[in-house]
Amino acid sequence: MTISSELVAEPVSYVDAHRYDGAAIHHDRPIRTAPCALQPRDVGLLRDLWRYKVLTAPQVLELWWPGRCARAGQRRLRRLFDAGYLERFRPITRRGSFPWTYHLGHAGHRLLQQHSIIAPGQRFAPRRVYDYGHVLHDLQLNAWVLAYRRRLGDALLAWEGETDIEPPARTQAGQPGLEGQWTAKGLREPQPRLLRPDAVLEIECADDAPGVRMLLIEYDRTRRVDKNYGKFRRYDGLLNSWWPYTPCAELGQPPLVVFVCQDRQQREQFMAAADHELAGHRWHPSVDADRHQYVGRRRVLFTLERDMHTGALEALRLPAFPHGHPSRTPDVRHVRLPGDDTGAKRPHPSDMQAPPSQTKPAVAIAG
């Protein structure tokens, strides 16, 4: 007998990230400003709020008070809030309560400037949040990364928030030259342009090809594939051509780009669009067409948000060659995101076991 997927309980971390949909907001205000003596941990905590924009109280506790009594962390958050370093809000509800959602306050911004984390000339921009729809993207993105972090353990070397990847000056006239007479061809948008992934992860891998992988995360809540055509094209240009002129070059290989989709239908739509847009490849005059390197098609992956919350590291990859290529086969390839496949190293204390949305086993490790 087959059990319907609708009857299977969702992972708690996934439910927690989605329970805010459509909620009205209550902003808290301290009764009076109460200065507090700062600790070294406070600077790191404030830096996280600046990098990741918003974090719920449980997310902050997981990052900075792991495995400890929540009360100590909650008291410290309250003191930082009363001192003006943090601001907070939460949904209005008639029954029960939601945890506070925190973001950086004016005093926190000034403190990070004093520590040279924020540029001196960068002005503080107060967050005017009146609808949770304006912060759900960031909350759910951070919940996804935290679920991945539990799976990775110490293998997660770095997690940056939204990051600008700017084409270097030498690419202003077009695609730069590649080594060994290789040339980038077939790009639907040849001119390099700014990219702004939602998060950047660096992961230590100990598989058949050990080393550090960089993942550029694109978390999409809109379900609008039309808003991503240009993004597919720009990533294709980065991966086939100008990534060696960016900080990605420090790791010696192009990054992986991971599109996190809400469900299978959205993933199918995004992959169908990407299958058309990712036509760029590395061309060489002495190399046959079936040996052209379609780097974008190999390094752009599509995964489901819910799967990460179940501990599944599975993703899908496009066929190796685009439509019209003589060697194309239409097989979608199953791969595994970088990470330990033996189980979570940092399990969520309240997560339930639930099967992943995609049950077909992955056959290769991405990268």
Nearest to 76 by CA among 102, 50, 51, 113: 102
Helix (H/G/I), strand (E/B), else coil: 216 = strand
Tokens standing for residue 157? 């070397």
Q: What is the pLDDT of residue 304?
A: 97
Average pLDDT, the chain: 85
DSSP state, residue 99: -
Which range among 60-69, 168-177, 335-344 has the greatest average pLDDT? 60-69
Model confidence pTM above 0.75: yes
**Residue-wise pLDDT tens digits, 208-246:** 677 899 999 999 998 899 999 999 999 999 999 889 888
- Give the span between the Cα atoms of 347 and 61, in whole angstroms: 14
CATH among 1.10.10.10, 1.20.1260.10, 2.60.40.10, 3.30.43.10 for 10-134? 1.10.10.10
Q: What is the pLDDT of residue 337?
A: 94
Q: What are the sequence ranges of the domains in the chain?
A: 10-134, 144-336
| 229 exposure class (CB count in 10 Å sphere: 0-12, 13-18, 19+) | middle
- Give the span between the Cα atoms of 272 and 251, in whole angstroms: 30
CA angle at residue 248 from 168 to 124, to 5 degrees? Answer: 70
Residue 1 has pLDDT above 60, yes or no: no
Mean pLDDT of 19-33: 78
Q: What is the pLDDT of residue 177?
A: 64
